[in-house]
Amino acid sequence: MAKCKICEKEFEDDSGLHRHLRAHSMRMVEYYQTHFPRYDLHTGDIIKFKNKNQYFSSDFNSRIHLKHWLKNQPTIKAKEYCDKIFLNRKEKKKIEYAPSQVELRTIMSPPVQYCEILYGDYYKHCKDKLNLKIKYEKISEAAFKEIKEFEEPIVYLDTREQLPLKFKKCSIRVKTLPFGDYCFFDDAHTENCYIERKSIKDFIGTLSGGFERFEKEIKRAEEKHSSLVVLVERSLNECIAFRKLPYVSKKVKATPEFIFSNVRTLIQKYPNVQFLFVNGREESVRVIEKIFFSGSEYKKYDLQLAYDLKIL
C-alpha cells in the first residue's frame, strides 16, 4: 500500500499514488523531496530525483562527492560503507561475482583501484568477507606480455564486419566467424578468444533493441567454450555520458542507465564475456594485438581494470 503524505489517501501501489499527485498539482520530484528529504552525505545538498528507487538508494549526487566523502572517513567507516554497496547489490541484484571494474565505474561506487587500497586485496575480501565468487586474479605489471613469437601472425576478420580495423603486426584474412568480428589464427594460443568490435552507436543499439540477439550470440560462444571480448571504441566515461555527445543521435531513446544495467547483467550472467572501453580505433588495434599475442591472459584479469592501469 502507498499513502499520500498530503491527504492521507491510500493506493494499492506507487503508480496509483503518482497519478494522484496531479490532484495536488505536484510533480514526483517535488513530492518526494518535500516529504522524504534525503541529502548528499558530502555536500548536504538535496538528492537529485530521477525515479523513486534511485532517490531512496542514493547517498550522493555524483561519484566525485562519494570519492571526497570516503577520503575524509576513518578506514573502518569507509570499509563498512563499501561493504554495504556490495552487499546491497548481492541482495537486490542477486550478483554472484565480485563486481568488475566496468560494473563499479557505472554505479555509485569507488573503482577497483580504491578497493584494493582500502581492503589490501579486493578479490580476497569479496571472497572471504562477502561470500562472492571470484572471476579474476589480482593484476600485476607483468601481465599481457608477449609469450610466443609467430612468423606470420594472422587475424581472421568476419565477413560481416563493416569498418575493419587495420592491424600493424598481423595480416588479415576474411572468413565467416561463428560469433564476434575478430579472432586469432591460433585458437589454442588464445583459448578461443573472439573480439566483438563496437562503435559507440553499435554499442547503444546492441545493448538496447539488439539485446536479445546479442545474448544469444554470447550463449553460442559459451556453448563452444569460447570467450567474447566486447571492445567499444570509446572511453567508458564517454559511453556513460553518451547523451551529451554530439555524434550520438538525439533520437536515441535508451538512457545510459538502461544500457549499463544490461551490461552489468551480462557480465554477471556470463563468465565468458568481458566489456572493454578504449580511446578510439588505433587503441582498439593495439589492444586487440596485445590480447592475442599474450595468449590466455585475458581470461585471468579484468580487462577494463588492466586498461585503466595502463597495463593492457
What residue segments make up the domains of the chain, in order of their start? 2-57, 73-128, 154-308
Question: pLDDT, tens digit, for every residue of 49-80?
Answer: 999 999 999 999 999 999 999 999 999 999 99
Q: In what order do the strands lie in the sheet with 182-184?
A: 171-175, 154-158, 182-184, 193-198, 227-232, 273-277
Ranges of residues in the chain with a pLDDT under 50 are none
pTM for this model (two decimals)? 0.93
Instruction: Measure the CA–CA gap between 36 and 13, rounded to whole angstroms.
Output: 17
The dihedral formed by the CA atoms of 111, 112, 117 and 120, expressed in degrees to the nearest 10: 150
Q: Which CATH class is domain 154-308?
A: alpha beta
Mapping DSSP to helix (H, G, I), strand (E, B) and coil, where does residue 126 land? helix
Question: pLDDT, tens digit, for every residue of 178-210?
Answer: 999 999 999 999 999 999 999 999 999 999 999
Compute the C-alpha angle 43/47/49, nearest 5°. Answer: 155
**pLDDT for 248:** 77
Instruction: Measure the CA–CA gap between 186 and 209, rounded to whole angstroms.
Output: 34
**pLDDT for 252:** 78
Do 288 and 167 meet the contact criterion of CB atoms below 8 Å apart?
Answer: yes
Do 147 and 294 meet the contact criterion of CB atoms below 8 Å apart?
Answer: yes
**pLDDT for 277:** 98
Do 204 and 254 meet the contact criterion of CB atoms below 8 Å apart?
Answer: yes
